[in-house]
Chain A
Amino acid sequence: MKILFRNVAELVERCESEGVSISELMIRQEMAVRERSREEVFGQMEENLKVMENAVEEGLQGVKSHSGLTGGDAVLIQNYMKNHTPLSGNLLMDAVSKAVATNEVNAAMGTICATPTAGSAGCVPGTLFAVKNQLNPTREQMVRYLFTSGAFGFVVANNASISGAAGGCQAEVGSAAGMAAAAIVEMAGGTPAQSAEAMAITLKNMLGLVCDPVAGLVEVPCVKRNAMGASNAVVAADMALAGVTSRIPCDEVIDAMYKIGQTMPVALRETAQGGLAATPTGRELEAKVYGINLKSE
């Protein structure tokens, strides 16, 4: 195996010593590990980009899940933006609406690209297609955005977890938001070290987030957690670009996330037994979805 980096420290160090970007190092590693040409690797990622583009577009036209629990919020937010100036800013709400769009399509069993998972598929494309309007990237830079995200996700997946059942929502939306933050920084012209800071700042603010889907569906609260993941990513990227650093290094934040996940009760790890799933309304919705009479239980 020709692994070029195992953790964020190695990733940043290698980028600095070789004078390359994070996306470039990720592309090189993929070429080495998969024994594929640059064109093949790049081409496959571009296909994923197209899937993300289509999902956002579909979601912005309005979709509804089979359960009826989610759908239509992306449209609401876009309409609001047309008639008002959002208090949190246009770019932020655009990212939010596009993250929501992606996850609404996912909940409706539409086609999405997992980044790194399906439940957290909104953060990376949501931020990408919002930041795009301000930074005007080339198509290549947009594909590179996904490689940069992928590099950080690769580190998290191998050193911690990206599974809600194993590590809670912090492992899914937390990881996704961190990946997005790091990619925004690179696209905005920041350094690899600043990408790592953005990832660390984002993930720190997602620590402890539990996975408590109502009725076990990837809908409530998953769709809105992607909205907040996307906003967290944009804000953290701005902070890192401003020169703010994380007192706790990125690898240690990832390790803390992993350990928190291990100590999280099973009820809060994608079993629909605790948290929001176990609230009176959560249970009521569950009963409605599955046609169960609560009183007979």
Chain B
Amino acid sequence: MKFKSVFDIIGPVMIGPSSSHTAGAARIGRVARTLFGREPKWVTVHLYGSFAKTYKGHGTDVAIVGGVLDFETWDTRISTSLDLAKEKGIKVQFEEEDAHTDHPNTARVRIGDEDGDLELVGISIGGGKAEITELNGFELRLSGNHPAILVMHNDRFGSIASVTQTLAKHEINIGHMEVSRKEMGKEALMVIEVDQNVSDDLLRELESCDHILQVAKVVD
């Protein structure tokens, strides 16, 4: 079940005009921001399918950038996000892509600064709900049925144990877990699907574990 809460249906409270193309898009941008952990210097967005065809009318561009600026779906600053980004000196670029994707509302968001960058692919599945399907080249195979946590970490011994120990301490059971890395000793990713709800406090606690770079909840 992709939609678990009644507030996925009656909600979100948001700035118009489109839940999938505005609110869902803002949420994709905000996951990128949360995972990146700071305000980026540049944002490049590739839009596919219906996103590519109708993004201007729906404000998908302002929504994604609003999300990257850490705005919630109901934040009225979303409508002026492109101007706000300009004022902050953030370079914003949009590319319309013709390539066929599995989902009609797909965006590839790349953000970065002099210290690093991040790339993710998000899909907006309707009613303001979004899913992340790819992160930094790692394909995410999330069932969408359970809360999921993404943990970017340094590929060092003990980092996985510290995360799982913290989850165990809070009596949170792991239903599915994947660990991947591109190169030994470099950046790696944990994708963890759990059975219980994950609080923001717990996310912060995970972030303070050794060798952990960023933590974000992508499905709730």
Q: How large is the interface on B (under 10, 10 to 19, 20 to 34, 35 or more residues)?
A: 35 or more
Given A114-B128, A216-B54, CB of A146 within 8 Å of CB of B10: yes
Report whether A118 and B18 are in contact in the complex, using a CB–CB cutoff of 8 Å: yes
Report whether A271 and B53 are in contact in the complex, using a CB–CB cutoff of 8 Å: yes
- A164: interface (CB < 8 Å): yes
How many residues of A are in contact with the other chain, CB < 8 A? 65
Given A109-B79, A218-B18, A272-B53, CB of A151 within 8 Å of CB of B6: yes
Contact with A along B104-136 (1 / 0, CB 8 A): 110000000000000000001111100000000
Complex contacts, A45 vs chain B, CB 8 Å: 6-7, 10
Report whether A157 and B9 are in contact in the complex, using a CB–CB cutoff of 8 Å: yes
Q: Which residue of B lies closest to A164 (CB)?
A: B20
Given A45-B10, A157-B127, A158-B2, CB of A114 within 8 Å of CB of B105: no
- B50: interface (CB < 8 Å): yes
Report whether A154 and B9 are in contact in the complex, using a CB–CB cutoff of 8 Å: yes
State A14–B57 Cα separation when bound (angstroms).
43
Complex contacts, A34 vs chain B, CB 8 Å: 5, 197
| Contact of A163 (CB < 8 Å), options: B1, B10, B59, B105 | B105
How distant is B5 from chain A, measured CB to nearest CB, in Å?
Answer: 6
Contact with A along B58-72 (1 / 0, CB 8 A): 110000000000000
- Among B16, B74, B124: residue with most chain A CB under 10 A: B16
- B3: interface (CB < 8 Å): yes
How distant is B151 from chain A, measured CB to nearest CB, in Å?
Answer: 23
Given A48-B13, A118-B23, A272-B53, CB of A162 within 8 Å of CB of B126: yes
Complex contacts, A76 vs chain B, CB 8 Å: none
Report whether B76 and A157 are in contact in the complex, using a CB–CB cutoff of 8 Å: no
Given A1-B1, A118-B18, CB of A266 within 8 Å of CB of B127: no
How distant is B12 from chain A, measured CB to nearest CB, in Å?
Answer: 6
State A151–B3 Cα separation when bound (angstroms).
11
- A116: interface (CB < 8 Å): yes
Task: Select the stretch in A85-93, A100-108, A133-141, A248-256 that faces chain B.
Answer: A100-108
How distant is B29 from chain A, measured CB to nearest CB, in Å?
Answer: 17
Q: Which residue of A lies closest to B2 (CB)?
A: A158
- Among A6, A115, A118, A273: residue with most chain B CB under 10 A: A118
Complex contacts, A179 vs chain B, CB 8 Å: 9
State A115–B119 Cα separation when bound (angstroms).
31
Report whether A30 and B5 are in contact in the complex, using a CB–CB cutoff of 8 Å: yes
Given A111-B15, A157-B2, CB of A116 within 8 Å of CB of B10: yes
Given A48-B11, A107-B17, 8 new contacts (CB under 8 A): A35-B196, A109-B15, A112-B16, A118-B16, A146-B10, A154-B3, A166-B103, A179-B9
B residues with a Cβ closer than 8 A to A are 1-23, 49-50, 53-59, 74, 76, 79, 103-105, 124-128, 145-146, 196-197
The 7 closest A-B pairs by CB, nearest first: A216-B54, A163-B126, A106-B16, A216-B57, A153-B9, A218-B17, A150-B6
